[in-house]
Structure 1
Amino acid sequence: MATTRDPLEHFAYEVLRAAGLDALPEDAKSEFIVKIRDQAQRRMGAIAVQHLDEQGLGEFNALVGQTPPPDPAAVQSFFTTKIPDFESKMQEGLMAFADEFVAAAKK
């Protein structure tokens, strides 16, 4: 597997490692990575949308409704300009998700 990863993939690997699941077979590990990454992305979107006002929501819907869809950098740029302290809100949300995942995996 390539050593260069996007931040969410890196996050997913770290969560897997913290949960003690990094010794899984490679195919199972890859499946978990995809699921963790997708769930983290959904959570980030939900957190971001919660912090938009009505006008911001309208602008966001227009942005994601474009054809072709905007790239992730454009979406992140939108959130960064519209949501004060966006980065720390995302970090808090991702850490909460990581804690939930690790706790569930260790049950």
Structure 2
Amino acid sequence: MRALPWVVPVLNKTAAGQCRGHAQFNVSFPVNHRNLKCRDVDEFLCRCSDVCIPRSKWQDGNIDCPDGTDEECLEYQYDCKFGKPRCISLYNFMDGVIDCASGFDEGQ
């Protein structure tokens, strides 16, 4: 797979090789690996399907993609486990400020 300069390839397959989040993503937003695109730039393309959801529903605590990929944290994010926000930047992890509703990011 050839990546464009502004796209970083990410592989996330299960042991059986089934798609669980094989994707490419840019700095702010994941993009499907099959080079499918949503019609609107404010939409998120679910990684293992051709479903587009509004960007406002990405990481909102509710599964909107059939494969659940809209609620997965990216490798540069900390998973709050539940509540909103679901994912926070790793820069906010253990920084002395509670960012996760659970307080897990500060060891609460």
Where on the TM-score scale, by shorter chain, does this alignment land: which range?
under 0.3
> With structure 2 as the length reference, what TM-score do the two structures score?
0.23
Greater RCO structure (CA 8 Å; 6+ sep): 1
Q: Specify the structure having the higher radius of gyration (Cα).
A: 1
| Larger strand proportion of the pair | 2
| Larger helix proportion of the pair | 1
